[in-house]
Amino acid sequence: MLTLLKLLKDGRFHSGEALGAALGVSRSAVWKQLQHLEAELNLPIHKVRGKGYQLASPLVFLNAENIALNAPSLEWPIHISDSIDSTNTEGLRLADSGCPAPFLVLAEQQTAGRGRRGRKWVSPYAQNVYYSLVLRIESGLRQLEGLSLVVGLAVMRALRESGVQGAALKWPNDVLVGQKKIAGILLELVGDPADICHVVIGIGINVNMRRADEVDQQWTSVQLETGSPVDRNGLVAQLSMQLQGYLDRHKAGGFVSLQEEWEQNHAWQGRAVSLIAGVNQVDGVVLGVDHQGALRLSVDGVEKIYSGGELTLRLRDDS
């Protein structure tokens, strides 16, 4: 199927006869493989009598050399998989097997992509960015403070550089355009954070996705926002350069050095919100974040601090 996909990636029409000849199979076998492509990879294919078959839009595959050309100062080794359960999981496997960090894991498709609280992250083939950076942290509890918020700043800047001017942050792990989610962040840690540990920075960005029936919340993509397809290699390079810069600033000055910048770009700053933890709900107004990246809320006129991976923040007027 992937050989067939590479024949179609230019977005032009190809006859069933020509595809069959290139693959050494019959036209009916080509037809069956095309049906599998549509069903398994969620790639719409146009079929026109007399012309043949055409991908609804051209595909550009992820390429480490292309990424390196666009990010010449980047020194992270890049591992690219065609299809994988999850880039975060692969990052943890590689770290466990002795692969020296930092390194970057990318995939064209995830079969078990996940977000916060175990939610499924919809990961169609060759449409989005599924990105995991594995870092080794030694005696660095300070390096973990506010880390997901720092990553959010890097993602937001990369999106703005790619033409999504309305990209903004939502505490603690999302990047929004208006009320629609365009990117999410999932950090996973293994080892002893007080000694030596590895942290996997997982980032998912909706890039060229235009349909996703499985997504159960409002979403958008870079292509939907800008009106044209995006070169994912260029976006990965831009994201990596932004992330490298923000991680250096965070390492040098801690989250406090980035706190004000984060608050200035928080989409819900000053908004009335509900903070939900299981069956419990707290209503308040967003004041900002503290030096560790925890949420500061005004609750009945009293400032309170909240942090934790199981918290959900919603606008109070959001039905």
Contact 162, 226 (CB under 8 A): yes
Which member of 157, 181, 211, 249 is catalytic?
181
- Cα separation, 253 vs 70, in Å, equals 28
Active site residue 314: yes
Active site residue 160: no
Pairing mode, strands 103-110 and 78-84: parallel
Active site residue 181: yes
Which member of 116, 157, 170, 232 is catalytic?
116
Residues belonging to the binding site are 86-88, 110, 114-116, 181
Contact 107, 93 (CB under 8 A): no
Which member of 180, 210, 271, 314 is catalytic?
314
Instruction: Enter the tokens of residue 311.
Output: 């918290």
Residues belonging to the binding site for biotin are 86-88, 110, 114-116, 181
Contact 96, 123 (CB under 8 A): no
Neighbour-count burial of 73, counting CB atoms closer than 10 A to its CB (0-12 exposed, 13-18 middle, 19+ buried): exposed
Contact 303, 272 (CB under 8 A): no
Active site residues: 116, 181, 314
